[in-house]
Amino acid sequence: MELEQIIQLIKTDFPKQSIEISESLELLKETISDTMNVIDQKMSDAFRRRDFTTRREYESVAVSIHSYENRLDEFISMLTLEEAEMYEVDVTELGEEDEKKAIPDYAAYTVDNNVEHTLYEDFTHIRPDSFKLLNNEKILVKTWIDVFLETSEILVHLDADKFRQFEHNPQMNGKKSKYISSNLAGMRKPRLLIEDLYLETNMSGNGIRNLLLKMLKAYGFKASDYKVYFRADYSELNQE
């Protein structure tokens, strides 16, 4: 079976998994982008030293990596569900109270909420407790949607005009749907952020993670400036 056929089958028969694969590839793409930025800095350093041999070597590596970036883009586009298909899939998690009702031994899956985690981790089956930006106080949350909304509010407070520009930035939106928009058309679970600007909340923890990385970078923050703290880990439960 050809790759295109495999991807089409996954999209048709396993749409939620198609989203999960796409989100994982998005994180890989973002990590590669960070690597390219480091290579760019090294190239500049080599140029200043007039070490043209090293500079050419780094440039060759960058060109090769860029071809993989383009390939990743192709895979992500192929895996992206059509708008009509997206309406069939709900990727949001239950709230804390609903989880307690649905999981009799809920307490068995709680984790140490003092342990710091980064935005480069897999949030599948993970529930958040809080997050913090830089050395500010922790902000308590119950869902990844809360993390998305609260972080967006912080960024809007820092520079509302910059945040509004995200609406027209393809990097801050899906291939076929808007994550940040003043137009409700095509948004499945919009939540008002400010005035006429809405956020799409039909997103998984990993989807939110990917978008947060891009948003923070646009504001000049490093991924290491942002810490997440977990409340529960249901990975074991979902393996049974």
Buried b or exposed e, range 155-164, using 16+ CB within 10 angstroms: bbeeeeeebb
Q: Where are the domains of the chain?
A: 3-86, 96-239
pLDDT attached to residue 94: 62
pLDDT attached to residue 131: 98
| 126 φ, ψ (degrees, to nearest 5) | -100, 145
Write out pLDDT tens, residues 110-162: 899 999 999 999 998 899 999 999 989 999 999 999 999 999 999 999 999 99
Q: What letter represents residue 75's amino acid? A: F
| 28 φ, ψ (degrees, to nearest 5) | -60, -45
Write out pLDDT tens, residues 78-122: 887 765 444 445 455 666 666 666 676 767 888 999 999 999 999
Write out pLDDT tens, residues 160-189: 999 999 999 998 988 778 899 999 887 889
Buried b or exposed e, range 49-75, using 16+ CB within 10 angstroms: eeeeeebeebeeeeeeeeeeeeeeeeb
Give the residue with greater pLDDT, 236 vs 118: 118
CA-CA distance, 114 to 95, in Å (whole number)? Answer: 21
Query: Please, what is the angle between helix 15-48 and helix 205-218, to 10°?
Result: 30
On average, the pLDDT of the chain sits at: 87
pLDDT attached to residue 180: 95
**CATH match for 96-239 among 3.30.530, 1.10.405, 1.10.3210, 1.20.1380:** 1.20.1380
